[in-house]
Amino acid sequence: MAGSNPEATRLLQILDRLRQVDPAPRPGLAYDDPWQLLVATALSAQCTDARVNQVTPGLFARYPGPRELAAAAVADVEHEIRSIGLFRNKARNLVAMAAAVAGHHGGVVPADRAALEALAGVGRKTASVVLGQGFGVPAFAVDTHVGRVCARLGFAPRAEPRMVERSITALLAPSHWAEAHLLFIHHGRRTCAARKPDCLHCPLGALCPSAGKV
């Protein structure tokens, strides 16, 4: 792809520079298996990974798997996650999600996009994170950081998730999608912040059309 498409070449150069800063990017959420990743990612909407990581150890200790969580009272789950934003709605979704995984998927998180997106509280981004990081299935998840960074880099006219996803996946080999997702997230948190991007110290300055203009 890079040989015939200058934008694909520029994307590879950008990822190479980000790897120099972050050679082994790791997910920000703590998890041991696809189920824990699914729950943590669902909780992370409009919430920091650090906050989710403070809550999930107690949640998983009390409800180790989908069957236990499916049998929980929503009010009890609310109590466990009350420090997380939108905790009431998320508690309802978690119990419904657990019931579907336990009842329709034998207690095993499905490695299928359509099945994942059919679960309560699971959208395309959450499904992509679980597929890419939990199962190694090629997927490029777009959250607010990824969307912002990719739009500023000129790969999409605006930070609309599906638009950004289509643009990046058309330029990049599927084997690099999950890594690119993590590199862009970390860059967005570390350097390309929403309100005050640190363009002066950004490793992508020469490759970014928005450098010094935000």
Domain boundaries, the chain: 6-26+140-207, 34-123
A 10 A CB-CB count for 202 gives 20
Residue 74 has pLDDT above 90, yes or no: yes
The answer to whether 143 is a known catalytic residue is yes
Contacts of 101 (CB under 8 A, 6+ apart): 35, 38, 66, 70, 107, 108, 109, 110, 119
How sure is the predictor about 212, in pLDDT bands with cuts at 50, 70 and 90?
confident
Residue 3 has pLDDT above 80, yes or no: no
Residue 213 has pLDDT above 90, yes or no: no
Catalytic one of 76, 112, 125, 196: 125
Can you give the pLDDT at residue 141? 96
pLDDT in tens, 34-53: 999 999 999 998 899 999 99
For the whole model, what pTM was predicted? 0.92
CATH architecture of 34-123: Orthogonal Bundle (1.10)
For the domain spanning 6-26+140-207, the CATH number is 1.10.1670.10
Q: Which amino acid is at 134?
A: G
The answer to whether 125 is a known catalytic residue is yes
pLDDT in tens, 147-172: 999 999 999 999 999 999 999 999 99
Catalytic one of 16, 22, 143, 196: 143
Can you give the pLDDT at residue 179? 96
pLDDT in tens, 8-44: 999 999 999 999 999 999 999 999 999 999 999 999 9
| Token reading at 74 | 């929503």
